[in-house]
Amino acid sequence: MKKNSQQLSTILVVDDERDIVDLVSYNLEKEGYLVLQAFDGEEAIRLAKTKKPDLVILDLMLPGIQGMEVARILRKNGTTALTPIIMLTAKTDEIDRVLGLEVGADDYISKPFSVRELLARIRAVLRRCESRVEEKDQEIFVYENLAINYRSYSASIDEKKVDLSPKEFKLLKFLSLHPGRVYTRNQLLDHIWGDETFVEPRTIDVHVRRLRTQIEKDPMNPKYIITVRGVGYKFGSKD
């Protein structure tokens, strides 16, 4: 049965600043979420593994194990590998955003932050996670004029089959299974090329360009494979 994310979801809030934890927890509980709290990296990892929250709000600057390493550990553990993570941090440099996404964060919010924006981001991430589960159980995925048959490894635009290479199809499949989530080039290389050697991150750009010529009406103004400047690519709308 599909979970009502606003009434039943459990969220782990991790920050060493008690005032922020209390503020976020108060507003989450007002919205009907169940809240767990952690003030350091070790406790965050323990709670994530034992309580299995539906989402983690994670500060980067933590005593003990830093937030970036906490995210890496959670992503490598079978129990928490798919738990969505929103990074909440005072670090605003682009490199920090890229590193956060590379270790598997689903979203990134800078301090100071708007509580309303944080709640909106949480709802969006939880909806995307529900969608991913539903889509993975489907044989055919349809978005606007694009149809993808995951089982037969085929795709069509306006019911006309498009000719994709195996890597182009894997790229399209992976992004469409995670709509709205931004992936860096290195992440896409890991997921699609795996352990293949001598593959440069810019290889992704080449395959994206080829893929767009096949599925986009206007490859210079794409609506399926969207570039997120300075970070990577995502599937879906530009919003």
Which segments of the chain belong to CATH 1.10.10.10? 138-235
At position 126, the amino acid (one-letter code) is L
- 132-151 in b/e form (b: 16+ CB < 10 A) is beebeeeeebeeeebbbbbe
Whether the Cβ atoms of residue 86 and residue 67 lie closer than 8 Å to each other: no
Q: Which residues contact 26 (CB under 8 A, 6 or more apart)?
A: none
Which segments of the chain belong to CATH 3.40.50.2300? 5-134
CATH of 138-235, one of 2.30.110.10, 1.10.10.10, 1.10.3470.10, 1.10.287.40: 1.10.10.10
Class (C level, CATH) for 5-134: alpha beta
Q: Can you point out the beta strands (E) in 91-173?
A: 107-110, 140-143, 146-149, 154-157, 160-162
Give the C-alpha separation, 235 to 239, whole Å: 11
Q: Would you tell me how many other CB atoms lie within 10 Å of the CB of residue 82?
A: 12
* Rounded (5°) CA angle 117-121-122: 115
Whether the Cβ atoms of residue 74 and residue 29 lie closer than 8 Å to each other: no
End-to-end CA distance of the chain: 29
- Judged by DSSP in three states, 33 sits in coil
Per-residue pLDDT of the chain (239 residues), as tens digits, is 345 433 468 999 999 999 999 999 999 999 889 999 999 999 999 999 999 999 999 998 899 899 999 998 998 887 888 889 998 877 666 666 676 677 778 888 888 889 999 998 898 888 777 655 555 556 788 888 999 998 888 899 998 999 998 889 989 999 998 888 888 888 888 778 765 556 677 888 999 999 999 999 999 999 999 998 888 899 986 55
Paired strand residues for 10: 34
Is pTM beyond 0.75? Reply is no
Residues in the chain: 239
Q: Which residues contact 182 (CB under 8 A, 6 or more apart)?
A: 101, 228, 231, 232, 233, 234
